[in-house]
Amino acid sequence: MSVGFLVLAVFLIMGGCAVAVMVAVALTTRAAPLPQASVQFRGYVLRRWWFRVLGSAVVVAFVISIPWFPYPHAKQLQAQRHYRVVAEQFGFQLPEAVPLNTPIIFDVTSQDVNHGFGIYDPTGVLVSQVQAMPDYVNHLSVEFTTPGRYLVRCLEYCGIAHANMQASFEVK
């Protein structure tokens, strides 16, 4: 399963649970009403726990996500081989091929407006991306583990032919 569909599954489960809770609470209005004071008594206790659980979940999620941040370190920039990518309305200047199973750096920039350098693997799954900005170079570190033809699409609205702006390169 791709990361995108994994996220979708998580989203649908979380969304479904939230809807279920909201509907369940709404349905309690069919039962005999309780005085607000008695609801508040238990409700505030539960709220303290809800705050602790949510707060902990946020901290844990944040900490867990950090090792997967895509920002290359100085050592990676020095050690890995660099390939220049230049985006312009409406095409990419790309290397013809890049090596398999080797960490590399794409040095991505733009000649004109902001573009997006979006890499799709041979099965059509979006595997990585970075912005292509004028006057700046973004360094994208990737390692391709599947050989084949990779498609590049522009992922930042850049003008009338934005949807047709694509290129490809070989991983071998």
Partner 1 sequence: MQALTARDLDRARSVMWTYVSTGLAIFGLMAFVGLAMRLEQAGWLSYGPDIFYALMTLHGAGMIVAIAIASMGGLWYLMSLEAPLDEGIAYWAYALMVVGVIGVLVSVLGGHFGAAWTFLYPLPFVGTWWPSWATGAFLIGMAFIMIGWTLWCAQMLACVLTRYGGFRGALAWELVFHAREFEASGKKPPPPQAFAALVAAVDGLLTGTLGMVLGIALIVHWLDPSVRLDPLWAKNLTYFFGHSLANLTIYMAVAGVYVAMPRYTRREYHTSAALAVAWWATLIFVATAYFHHLYMDFVQFPAFQYVGEAASYLAAIPTAVITVYGSLMLVYRSQMRWSLGSLFIYAGLIGWIVGGFGALLDATIPFNIDLHNTLWVPGHFHTYLLEGVVLFVLGWVFMMLEERSATISPVIVRWLVGIGIFGGGALFLLGFYISGADGVPRRYATQPAPGPELSAWASIGAVILLVGLTIALVEGIRLAAVGRRRTT
According to CB under 8 A, which residues from 64 to 83 bind partner 1? 65-66, 68-72
Residue 144 sits in the site that holds partner 1 (CB under 8 A): no
Q: How far is the CB of 102 from partner 1 (least distance, A)?
A: 20
- Residue pair 140/106 in contact by the 8 Å Cβ criterion: yes
Cα angle 103, 172, 132; round to 5: 55
Q: How far is the CB of 96 from partner 1 (least distance, A)?
A: 23
- Cβ contacts of residue 1 below 8 Å, gap of 6+? 9
Q: How far is the CB of 35 from partner 1 (least distance, A)?
A: 9
Instruction: Please report, as residue ranges, which positions from 147 to 166 form the binding site for partner 1 (by CB under 8 A).
Output: 153-164
Instruction: Please report, as residue ranges, which positions from 10 to 49 form the binding site for partner 1 (by CB under 8 A).
Output: 10-11, 14-15, 18-19, 21-22, 25-26, 28-29, 31-34, 36, 39-40, 43, 47
Q: How far is CA 143 from the centre of its chain?
A: 17
Of 112, 147, 148, 170, the residue at the interface with partner 1 (CB under 8 A) is 112
Tell me whether residue 79 is exposed, middle or buried, using C-beta atoms within 10 angstroms of its C-beta: 0 to 12, 13 to 18, 19 or more.
exposed
